[in-house]
Each structure stands twice: as C-alpha cells, then as structure tokens.
Amino acid sequence: MEKVIIMGSGCAGLTAALYTARANLRPLVLTGLQPGGLLTTTTVVENYPGFPEGIDGYELTSRMQKQAERFGARVQFATIEAADLAPRPFVLTVDGERLETETLIIASGAGHRHLGIESEVKLENKGVTYCATCDGALPAYRNQPLVVVGGGDSACEEALYLTRFGSQVYLIHRRDTLRASRIMSERVLSNPKIRPVWDSVVVEVLDVAKGKVSGVRVKNVKTEAQSVIDCAGVFVAIGHVPNTQLFKGVLDMDEAGYLIPKRGTETKVPGVFIAGDCSDRVYRQAITAAGLGCAAAIDAERYLAALA
C-alpha cells in the first residue's frame, strides 16, 4: 500500500512529489497520458523564476522530475482509470491493476479545449492540431499559410512560433482585442508575418472530402459575413478543460469542471488533496501550480502525521 499517490506529472504534481519525497513518504507519481503536462508543449517559459534567459517547458519539467526522484519519488507512466474514494485506504485502478493509497493528490491538469465542430474532429491530425511546438515544423506546414485560433497568451505564443515555418500566420479571435498579456500582444501585433482576423470564429475547417486541411470558413460575429481563408494547418489555442471527469459526482467541482477545495488544498474527502490547473481557473500559471503542489504535499504530510 502507498502512503501518497500523485495523479499528474506537471508542475503541481512534481512539486508535490518533491515535497512528499523529502518527507520520506516515497510518493508514487502517475504521469497520465502526457508526462510533464501541457507545459511540455511550450517552447520557452520566460516567467518561471530562476531562469533569466527562459527555459524549454519540457526541460523544466524534466528537471523537476529528476529533483523529485533524487529524494525517492517514483514516477510511473500510467493512467488512473477508476478511483474509489469511499473506503480507507483509497482504491485506484491503474492500467488495469489495483493500487491502494492512504492519500491521493490530484494534480491532473487540463486538456485542450476544442472548437466543437464536426470538421475539426474529422481533420484532427490531418492539419488540425493543438500544439504548434509539437507539429509546427512538419514539412506540410513549411512556407504555407497557417491559422491559429485564440486570443490569449497561448494563442499568441503559437502564432509567434509558427512564423518560423509558415509563410503567413492568421490569428483568428472572436473579439477585437487580444486577451493576452501586454508583452505577448505587442510581439504579435508588431510581427509582419502575423495577420489578426478580429471579431471572427471558425465555423468549418476545409476540406474533409480531401482528407486534409485546405482552409477555414470564418464568420464575423458582428456582421455575420462569412469568408474563406486558405491555409495548410489550423492550430487551436482557445483554452483548456480540467482533467477531472473521473471525480464527477464524487468531489465538489464548478460548472466548468474545476475542483473546489474545502480548505487549503483539502477536498470534502479526507486524505484527498487537489493542486494545479485542475483546481485553478483564475491563474493557471506554472509557478502557481508549483505553489499549490507544495501546499498539497504539506497538507498530505500533516494528514498522515495526524493518523500516526
């Protein structure tokens, strides 16, 4: 039986692993399908303290994992398929196997939000993607017009990254101003290869019949006028959905699926703690996730000490 199992291997999960490992609790970290979390899809993280020149997202989480492992944390590429939080200890089904744990730290992060249109689904991995750093350098996108959908920091970063490869990058946003931070907005709006398409939404990705992306049909939300933008790839960056479906009806969550703590990082189930983007709908930064991971680890350590 485990003392601590951590669900998720992003900044929150790995920081929780570091703190619980240093407390000699030998935590087991279950990575989920994306080891390192969404941060691994970021090229340069410029706002994490301690790295004045910035650091690659994958490199940052890799360092965090090595640091946690140094103190005894164990990291396993695995996914929790079911969780029974009624008995003590808790019973988890992990890739078909049964695991028991005295405490559970949920740091499952969030996944990419989709446009919600049929053509998007049919052309996923055929020109529709959710990660410019993963796919932007593919030959199919080089020297071709590309589309990024979104208006936040993630969308701006995607657009800037794609200027290395595409001939033109169209940034489609449903409003007339970007939601991104000032520095990111300035970088995007001053880049000659990026062309904003304001007050617009994608209503169709073309061309399903050809089995690959050839363009997008966009609608102006103010005039209702529609037009087609030719492109070879569509990069969707419109936000995230918390990975909390496993705990629906078991733990408190808001209408968007973000887990709601009872106090600190505690949930209504004693021994279950939450941290990171799965419970933070306001800040959603690497540094705040790490801070919440630290808090969850301390809460779990104190909970276990009280049981002793």
Domain range summary for the chain, segments of one domain joined by +: 2-111+240-307, 114-236
What is the arithmetic mean of pLDDT over 184-207? 97
Integer Cα distance of 274 and 26 in angstroms: 19
Integer Cα distance of 41 and 240 in angstroms: 13
Question: What's the pLDDT band for 46 if we cut at 50, 70, 90?
Answer: confident
Rg (C-alpha) for the chain, rounded Å, is 21
- How many helices (DSSP H) and strands (DSSP E) are in the chain? 7, 17
Integer Cα distance of 162 and 140 in angstroms: 13
Integer Cα distance of 44 and 127 in angstroms: 24
What pLDDT is recorded for position 111? 86
| Residues 106/273, Cβ–Cβ less than 8 Å | yes
> Residue-wise over 31-41: b if at least 16 C-beta within 10 A, else e?
bbebbbbbbbb
Please name the residue that has the structure tokens 């090595």: 66
Q: What percent of the chain has pLDDT over 90?
A: 87
Q: Please pick, among 11, 84, 95, 135, the residue that the annotation labels catalytic.
A: 135
What pLDDT is recorded for position 53? 93
> Residue-wise over 17-27: b if at least 16 C-beta within 10 A, else e?
bbbbbbbebeb
Rounded (to 5) percent helix, strand, coil in the chain? 30, 30, 40
Tell me yes or no: is domain 2-111+240-307 CATH 3.40.640.10. Answer: no
Question: What's the pLDDT band for 249 if we cut at 50, 70, 90?
Answer: very high
What pLDDT is recorded for position 17? 98
Question: Do 2-111+240-307 and 114-236 fold alike per CATH?
Answer: yes
Give yes or no: 278 in active site.
no
Who contacts 224 (Cβ-Cβ below 8 Å, separation ≥6)? none
Sign of CA dihedral 180, 289, 116, 249: negative
Give the closest residue to 45 by CA, choosing from 151, 152, 153.
153
Give yes or no: 231 in active site.
no
pTM for the complete prediction? 0.79
Q: What is the pLDDT of residues 100-134, one digit of tens each?
A: 999 999 999 998 899 999 999 999 989 999 988 77
Who contacts 7 (Cβ-Cβ below 8 Å, separation ≥6)? 13, 30, 32, 80, 104, 105, 106, 107, 108
Residue 70 has pLDDT above 80, yes or no: yes
What are the start-end ranges of the H helices in the chain?
11-22, 57-70, 118-122, 132-135, 153-162, 182-189, 286-307
Q: Please pick, among 84, 95, 134, 254, the residue that the annotation labels catalytic.
A: 134
Q: Please pick, among 131, 199, 207, 294, the residue that the annotation labels catalytic.
A: 131
Domain 114-236: CATH superfamily is: FAD/NAD(P)-binding domain (3.50.50.60)
| Residues 20/300, Cβ–Cβ less than 8 Å | yes
Side-chain half-sphere CA neighbours of 25 within 13 A: 31
Give yes or no: 134 in active site.
yes
Written as six digits, the tokens of 305 are: 């000490």
Question: What's the pLDDT band for 97 if we cut at 50, 70, 90?
Answer: very high
